A and B are shown apart, each in its own frame.
Chain A
Amino acid sequence: FSCSSSGVKPAVATGLVGTVQQQDIMKWNGWGYADSKFFFNKKGQGEFTGKRYRLSGLILPSLKDWFEGTFGANLQHKSPPSLNTSAVAPPSLNEAFVEELKSTGIPFSHDTEDRVFRAHGHCLHEIFSLRDGRVGRCPDMVVWPNCHNDVVKIVELACKHSVCLIPYGGGTSVSSALECPPEETRSIVSLDTSQMNRILWIDEKNLTAHVEAGIIGQDLERLLNESGYCTGHEPDSMEFSSLGGWVATRASGMKKNIYGNIEDLVVHIKMVTPRGVIEKSCQGPRMSTGPDIHHFILGSEGTLGVVTEVTLKIRPIPEYQKYGSVVFPNFQQGVACLREVAKQRCAPASIRLMDNEQFQFGHALKPQVSSIFTSFLDGLKKFYITKFKGFDPHHLCVATLLFEGDREKVLQHEKLVYDIAAKFGGLAAGEDNGQRGYMLTFVIAYLRDLGMEYYVIGESFETSVPWDRWVLDLCRNVKERIVRECKEKGVQFPPLSTCRVTQTYDAGACVYFYFAFNYRGLSDPVHVYEQVEHAAREEILANGGSLSHHHGVGKLRKEWMQETISSVGLGMLKSVKDYLDPNNIFGNRNLL
């Protein structure tokens, strides 16, 4: 078996060359690209640096007021990171393993920077520690397999020499899944899949593509686009997250209404386990061959093996895309509209509903307007909505829409959705608002880094919940719980506690919460944060929400697994783990 492709179409070379560069252009103690970040300039105006995003290089005049008003933060009170290079414990290497690995020619490293970079995901406590210069248990070395066979060799060696393997894709985990268990005594090897980033073949007859699992979302999409295709799978982390990671966490994409979630997209998966390679023998679109083995792999969170290659459904790039937005007088009306859209099964590629707090936040990120005319128009719009239509600016909320397909159908579809919205008091609010809403998704993670400069910490978490129990129930209860818990824990300023509905389904929806607060005066802010998030999760579960819609369980939400899937269910998963990996080589201790 060789690493070269044998597909229908010649493999496309990727533009990215490997780890070292990826690592170099990214922050080591914050989110995303090193050149992209928010900051307050000397005039106190917000700015976003770099050239990568629509917002890059723009002045954001309202950011300061929103930031100070919402959090009670003050630009005079800075909490900069301590930049002293952290004292990282020297690697504990398994010499025999290292020796044999050398003979295979697979690149590896035990450089401190490489190790620290792969010791964490993006949970608040992980980033907070890094900014503080504190690093916990790190992988002892990093290996970069180049293809499926390399992975097979590494796993064999790990089993032979009793080494703990932790697969690493894009590093965007928010479930403590990448944290090295501190109690692990074996040498820990981070298995970085980033070199396995090729599209091995594209099958235009069946509309599938066979791809190495280390490929990063945006690269996959760009490369497919070059051939006129796309997967349509766009999780919010797609700039940095990997195909293998999506499979391992049961990822969900923004446009799942057209393309489906990851479990709907995969046709075939190849995974290397300590017991051997698991895969199906054909690519039939549906099979009745007992429980689907893919479902043991999907969501296994790196506990069973390494996903090396995936065959995915692809689609021709849509002819036409159109953003849109609707303003509702209040959240309740907005939700009723989303429910109706789901009932009629006419959801556009994406439909999301922000609550009032997020609507206001969106406003804070409005760039300086270029002309008096635009500003005049904005004023008119505002006047129309609040004065003429009587919407209360402190209650109204916004749905953002994305339509895709051929032009004519999109326009029909658009009319249908706007007609439904009108029945629930919704007013069309323009393409621009819609597009900005989606752009926010990508920059919001950068905003947390800005907050951390000024004593503000926060994070997002998600759930899925049946239609009948959420609007003024789950959303209200969780938001209120957050506010009350913060107060109880001694948080001095009211927190930002906001939510949005990001996906609709036949029988329910996915809800996303953002939660942030000013931690001045608290001695252990991360602990407070964790307690509040824990309480919020308890509240979600008590209100009929799920443990996770797409972030996964990792180590952060493990404690609720048994209640969530029953002890018998947990036993089933454990017995699979015991069969595939009796010596716990894949020892990240996620999930179970």
Chain B
Amino acid sequence: ASGRGSTEVDGFWDILEERRRTSDLSHALRTFNPQPYKGAPPCSSSELNRAVLESQFLRHVVKEVSAESGEPVEVVRDEASGLLEEMSQNLQLTFIRLLGFSLSKVFKRLFQKILINEEGLNRLQQAIPEHPVILMPNHRSYIDFLVLSYIMFTYDLPIPVIAAGIPLMSMKLIGEIFRRSGAFFIRRAIGDDKLYWALLSEYVRTIVRIGFAPVEFFVEGLRSRTLKSLPPKLGMMHMVLEPFLKGEVYDISLVPISISYDRVLEESLLAHELLGVPKPKETTRGLLKARKILEDDYGSMHVCFGEPLSVRGLAKGTVNRWQYNLVPRDLPAKPSEETLGFVSGVAHLVVRLQEKGMVLSPWSLIATVLLQNPLGMDLDALIQRTCWLRELVEGFGAVLHWTGRSCEVVLSSLSRHHSVVRCEKGRVTLVEEAGASPATPEEGVFRRAAAVLMCASYRNQALHVFVRPALVATAITSPTVTDEDIFAHFQFLQDVFSNEFIFIPGTSHQDFEEGCSSLRKCGAVQVCDQQIRVTEEGKDTIFFLTAVLEPFIQTYQMVFRHLTNEPDQPFTERQYITGVRSSTLKRILSGDVQSFEALSSDVQKNVLSGLVRMGGVTKLKKGVRSEFRVDKTTIGRIADKLGKIYILC
């Protein structure tokens, strides 16, 4: 308990504190005797695999695949067995201990503190024996799941099995270690591979059904390169929920877990990826090279275990489980629209709760402020503005990790992020990559953009706090707005940006209410007689909030313009990215576009998916690759409406 200082966020405590005091070896070799899910009979990994291969579901699919492909059943079954071998975890306590020992060493070098909320951990501890538990962390860094398993080990909780991407597996030694620490590996592009889908889903369902171990997976699907929440992927979510929907377990507990970092290990890689510089293949050697990372200071990380969600509670009144009564449960069946809607709603809710549980680093606020002052700021002004912002976000209900006096907090953040910002002679500016002065103006832009995108990533960690009030602020201040259609404006903006920010489908009204009430609480608006008015002292806040959205609006408009000007021809995603990138570059050079964020391939891809959703672009399946065709009228209409709501300066 001594790890808890008064300066920490309430209820969080540092698990490294004890590691710094007592032996890592005895920590790794301690008695590990977690209480399992009550219904779970002890089951080895190989028994689990056998149960999957021998399940009626899999036998059925194997027969189907054999009939479709003409291959004999035995061949398909062997193939399935091979795939399962590739996929399956091989959780072994010895490796957990080994990993525990080495992670103690690594984490102590990397982080000042790893702070976790004790209360959440207690709730998790109580949930585990009751129902199968699904751990659902957000994904910002490779070490996310290492940290989680480490925490579970430290707190005598069952080690989870973890859905991981196949690239990790190809790292020879590391892949095997991960496998023995409970990771199972999923191929990236499964597509229509029926056998693979069947194996994966039966594997996951079996683990949940028998309560083999808590299942951990990243509902966002990927590590977020932008540090912003990603729209959830639904495949794995559905697999995990099915045992409840089919009555095979009484309930399932979903535990949203919010992981946030003062500084992310992969930060410089991230920005480069977004700018189109390919990321190095994940190899063991690459990881060893990354040893120099160990020399640096990464501040603290926070792991916040959310309140376990009862799937039964969520399903009440939304899913009619009768629908499963008429088909044998062991046969593959397409989920109903109702079920898909439920799965999507749950997945979005979890991402939303991950956002809400996040402990923000002061650096996220500093980055937000700096992005709005691209030419740099005086340190005093930066401190002042950051403190102002701190009050604002705390008013919006966010939790900040603010330990100590404000100027110290800001200064220590600045020094930790010396690769991004520099403070010289009382002036704070973004750092551009060192090296010879840029050969071309384009190169200059990319260097600058790398710094901006890195900053933007950290702003993104706090973006969810601003999004709703910012959308309301944008709607209110729109020149075309009358009181009646503030909500219509809000809804339109939400629609356009719903691939960018996470909104739970069908909850526009609540989102609007939330945005309004945030603005009202901070005094930025007044509501009287059903009318929303910006107050005099609120103008600054409203300006700030709309400015948070501006880079996104600018990028979207930029892409809209690009697409409507292009010749009428189907294109692939790769062609799209290249096209947008060069046209953005041109416009930045010409001064037409100010935001360097428009160069982020992530936002560009979001625009494309958004357009597909809104009918501005049609996705055509052409063999394995998809092509896109533009509907200029629709895009024009959207661009027009957006342009009227928000006039770019």
Contacts and interface: CB of A to CB of B under 8 A. Distances in A.
A473 B251 CA distance: 11
Contacts of B250: 476-477, 480-481
A544 B39 contact: no
A477 B39 CA distance: 12
Interface string B313-325: 0000000111011
B248 A473 contact: yes
B247 interface: yes
B330 A544 contact: no
A473 B247 contact: yes
B247 A472 contact: no
Contact of A472 (B39, B322, B324): B39
B566 to A, nearest CB: 52
Given A468-B328, A468-B330, A469-B329, A541 B247 contact: no
A474 B329 CA distance: 13
Interface residues of B, number: 13
A17 interface: no
B247 A477 contact: yes
> Which of B322, B325, B328 gathers the greatest number of chain A CB atoms within 10 Å?
B325
Contacts of A543: 247, 321
Contacts of A480: 250
Given A472-B39, A563-B322, A542 B330 contact: no
Interface string A536-550: 000001111000000
Nearest to A474: B247
Contacts, number: 26
A472 B328 CA distance: 16
> Which of A469, A476, A542 gathers the greatest number of chain B CB atoms within 10 Å?
A542
Contacts of A474: 247
Nearest to B325: A544
Contacts of A481: 250
Nearest to B324: A544
Contacts of B246: 469
A469 B250 CA distance: 13
Nearest to B251: A480
Interface in A392-410: none
Interface in A451-499: 468-469, 472-474, 476-477, 480-481
Nearest to A473: B247
Contacts of A563: 322
B39 A542 contact: no
B328 A544 contact: no
A476 B249 CA distance: 9
Interface residue tally on A, bucketed by range = 10 to 19
B380 to A, nearest CB: 57
Contacts of A476: 250
Interface in A498-549: 541-544
> Which of B248, B250, B321, B329 gathers the greatest number of chain A CB atoms within 10 Å?
B250
B322 A541 contact: yes
B329 A468 contact: yes
Interface in B300-345: 320-322, 324-325, 328-330
A469 B39 contact: no
A472 B37 CA distance: 15
Interface in B423-440: none
Contacts of B39: 472
A469 B322 contact: no
Contacts of A544: 247, 324-325
Contacts of B321: 542-543
A125 to B, nearest CB: 25
Contacts of A472: 39
Interface string B246-258: 1110100000000
Contacts of B247: 469, 473-474, 477, 542-544
Contacts of B325: 544
A438 B330 CA distance: 36
A424 B426 CA distance: 81
B242 to A, nearest CB: 13
Nearest to B326: A544
A480 B330 CA distance: 23
A525 to B, nearest CB: 25
A543 B246 CA distance: 7
A561 to B, nearest CB: 14
A583 to B, nearest CB: 35
Contacts of B320: 542
Nearest to A546: B325
Contacts of B322: 541-542, 563
A339 to B, nearest CB: 14
B91 to A, nearest CB: 24
A186 B269 CA distance: 84
A476 B321 CA distance: 16
Nearest to B245: A542
A209 B247 CA distance: 45
Nearest to A564: B322
A541 B250 CA distance: 14
Contacts of B324: 544
A542 B246 CA distance: 9
Interface string B460-492: 000000000000000000000000000000000
A473 B246 CA distance: 9
B317 to A, nearest CB: 11
Interface string A420-435: 0000000000000000
A62 B500 CA distance: 68
A472 B320 CA distance: 21
> Which of A472, A476, A544 gathers the greatest number of chain B CB atoms within 10 Å?
A544
Nearest to A472: B39
A422 to B, nearest CB: 22
A476 B330 CA distance: 19
A286 to B, nearest CB: 29
A544 B329 CA distance: 10
A494 to B, nearest CB: 15
A481 B249 CA distance: 12
B338 to A, nearest CB: 14
B39 to A, nearest CB: 7
Interface in B319-374: 320-322, 324-325, 328-330
B73 to A, nearest CB: 23
A477 B322 CA distance: 15
A280 to B, nearest CB: 33
A58 B376 CA distance: 95
Interface in B17-44: 39
B450 to A, nearest CB: 54
> Which of A468, A469, A563 gathers the greatest number of chain B CB atoms within 10 Å?
A469
Interface in B550-593: none
A305 B321 CA distance: 36
Nearest to A563: B322
A482 B290 CA distance: 55
B315 to A, nearest CB: 9
A440 B338 CA distance: 45
Interface in B521-540: none
A473 B329 CA distance: 12
Contacts of A541: 322
Interface in B120-155: none
Interface in B498-554: none
B500 to A, nearest CB: 38
> Which of B247, B320, B324 gathers the greatest number of chain A CB atoms within 10 Å?
B247
26 contacts: A468-B328, A468-B329, A468-B330, A469-B246, A469-B247, A469-B329, A472-B39, A473-B247, A473-B248, A474-B247, A476-B250, A477-B247, A477-B250, A480-B250, A481-B250, A541-B322, A542-B247, A542-B320, A542-B321, A542-B322, A543-B247, A543-B321, A544-B247, A544-B324, A544-B325, A563-B322
Interface of B: 39, 246-248, 250, 320-322, 324-325, 328-330
Given A468-B329, A472-B39, A544-B325, 14 more contacts: A469-B246, A469-B247, A469-B329, A473-B247, A474-B247, A476-B250, A480-B250, A481-B250, A542-B247, A542-B320, A542-B322, A543-B247, A544-B247, A544-B324
Q: What are the 3 A-B residue pairs with the smallest beta carbon separation, nearest first? A: A542-B321, A543-B247, A544-B325
